[in-house]
Amino acid sequence: MSQKSNIHFDISERKILLRVFDIISVLSLLYLVGLVFDFDYFKINEQNWVWSIVLVVYLSVFATIFELYDLQKANKFEIVIQNIILTSSVTVLFYLLTPFYTPMLPENRLQIVYFFLSINLSLFSWRYAYITLISAPRYFKKVLLLCSTQELDTIVNSLHKSDPNYRVIGFINTDTKNNTPYLRGDIKKFSALNISDVITGNLISEVVIASSEDDAISVTLYNQLLLLLKKGVSIREYTQVYEDITHRVPVQHVAKDFYRYFPFSRSNQNKLYLFFHRLLDLLFSIIGLTFGLLISPIILIGNVFANKGAFFYTQERVGRNGTFFKIYKLRSMVTDAEKDGAAYASKNDERVTKFGKFLRKSRFDEIPQFINVIKGDMSVIGPRPERPVFVKELSKKIPFFEVRHIVKPGVTGWAQVNASYGATENDALEKLQYDLFYIKHRSLFLDISIVFKTLSTIIFYRGQ
In this prediction, residue 351 carries a pLDDT of: 79
Q: Which residues contact 422 (CB under 8 A, 6 or more apart)?
A: 344, 428, 431
Identify whether the C-beta of residue 213 lies closer than 8 Å to the C-beta of residue 254: no
Identify whether the C-beta of residue 353 lies closer than 8 Å to the C-beta of residue 332: yes
Quick one: 28 exposed, middle or buried, by C-beta within 10 A (0-12, 13-18, 19+)?
Answer: middle
* d(C-alpha 300, C-alpha 307), whole Å: 10
In this prediction, residue 1 carries a pLDDT of: 43
- Tens digits of residue pLDDT in 366-398: 999 999 999 999 999 999 999 999 999 988 888
pTM for the whole structure = 0.80
Residue ranges for the chain with pLDDT beneath 50: 1-2
Helices (H) and strands (E) in the chain, counts: 15, 9
* Beta pairing partners, 315: 327
Q: ∠ CA(73), CA(78), CA(82), 5° rounding?
A: 85
In this prediction, residue 464 carries a pLDDT of: 60
In this prediction, residue 250 carries a pLDDT of: 82
Task: Spell out the domains of the chain, with CATH numbers in brackets.
Answer: 11-134 (no CATH), 140-246 (3.40.50.11060), 266-459 (no CATH)
In this prediction, residue 376 carries a pLDDT of: 95
306 DSSP assignment: I
